């Protein structure tokens, strides 16, 4: 089921393409459900292992347009101080001036600018990722997990996906050299997204 922009390589034979009824039914504004969503990251530590963490406080909105899927948008705000790697001292270092400087820059934000279907239920959402005072483009590959009505009557959609960034591109350059060569913290960061969003009730 196409949620975003389907690539069409064949010439069009009609002036208007039929709208998929199942897709059209998903049209609306959705709020990300914090209790059933996660935004995580993985980064290499000391050249030999990985540190994994997540941001426990975030909010966002998906606007899905079934009649014109390419017009669908995504907006996410992440509270930097909610970072959690399981080690309090490490979390404190991450929110300090050495890394995110959460006191000065409390939010990490993503605002989509384009969406397209890669094939089947796989999509790529491209937008602007802002960390601290740096804004750069980011593409996130997502798998659409489907839609459902939960026991409370909420209509939900689900996505999961990933992306990779170089933290140095966003000014996160802190590091320490190892005696055996290499550095303490890797530059490449793997981002992961597991999103459940609830459709807003129609406006009266």
SS3 of the chain: CCCCCCCCCCCCCCCCCCCCHHHHCCCEEEEECHHHCEEEEEEEECCCEEEEEEECCEEEEEEECCCCHHHCEEEEEEEHHHEECCCHHHHHHHCCCCCCCCCCCCEEEEEEEEEEEEECCEEEEEEEEEECCEEEEEEEEEEEEEEEECCCCCEEEEEEEEEEEEHHHHCCCCCCECCCCCECEEEEEEEEEEEEEEECCCCC
Q: pLDDT digits over 18-68, tens only? A: 556 777 788 999 999 999 999 999 999 999 999 999 999 999 999 988 677
Taking the model in full, what pTM does it have? Answer: 0.87
Question: Could you tell me the pLDDT band of residue 122, with boundaries at 50, 70 and 90?
Answer: confident
Question: Could you tell me the pLDDT band of residue 90, with boundaries at 50, 70 and 90?
Answer: very high
Q: pLDDT digits over 148-195, tens only? A: 999 999 999 999 999 999 999 999 999 999 998 899 999 999 999 999
Give the pair of three-digit tokens for residue 122: 């796989």
pLDDT computed for residue 2 by the predictor? 52
pLDDT computed for residue 1 by the predictor? 52
pLDDT at 125 over 60: yes
Average pLDDT on 117-127 reads 86
The whole-chain average pLDDT of the chain stands at 89
Give the burial class of 29: count Cβ atoms within 10 A of its Cβ; 0-12 exposed, 13-18 middle, 19 or more buried.
middle
pLDDT computed for residue 22 by the predictor? 74
Around Cβ 55, how many Cβ atoms within 10 Å?
17
pLDDT computed for residue 19 by the predictor? 59
Print burial letters for 121-141: b (CB count within 10 Å at least 16), e (below 16): eebbbebebbbbeeeeebebe
How far, in Å, CA of 88 to CA of 68, rounded? Answer: 46
Cβ neighbours of residue 17 closer than 8 Å, sequence gap 6 or more: none
């Amino acid at each position: 089921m196409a949620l975003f922009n389907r690539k069409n390589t064949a010439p069009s034979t009609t002036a208007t393409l039929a709208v998929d009824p199942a897709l059209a039914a998903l049209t609306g504004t959705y709020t990300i459900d914090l209790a059933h969503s996660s935004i995580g990251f993985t980064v290499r530590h000391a050249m030999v292992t990985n540190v994994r963490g997540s941001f426990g406080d975030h909010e966002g909105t998906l606007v899905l347009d079934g009649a014109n899927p390419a017009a669908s948008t995504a907006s996410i705000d992440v509270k930097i101080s909610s970072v959690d790697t399981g080690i309090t001292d490490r979390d404190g270092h991450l929110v300090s001036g050495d890394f995110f400087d959460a006191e000065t820059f409390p939010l990490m934000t993503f605002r989509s600018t384009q969406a397209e279907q890669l094939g089947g239920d796989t999509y790529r959402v491209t937008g602007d990722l802002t960390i601290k005072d740096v804004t750069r483009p980011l593409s996130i590959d997502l798998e659409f997990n489907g839609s459902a009505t939960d026991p409370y009557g909420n209509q939900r959609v689900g996505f999961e996906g990933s992306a990779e960034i170089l933290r140095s591109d966003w000014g996160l350059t802190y590091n320490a050299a190892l005696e055996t060569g290499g550095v303490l913290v890797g530059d490449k960061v793997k981002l992961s997204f597991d999103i459940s969003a609830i459709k807003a009730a129609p406006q009266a």
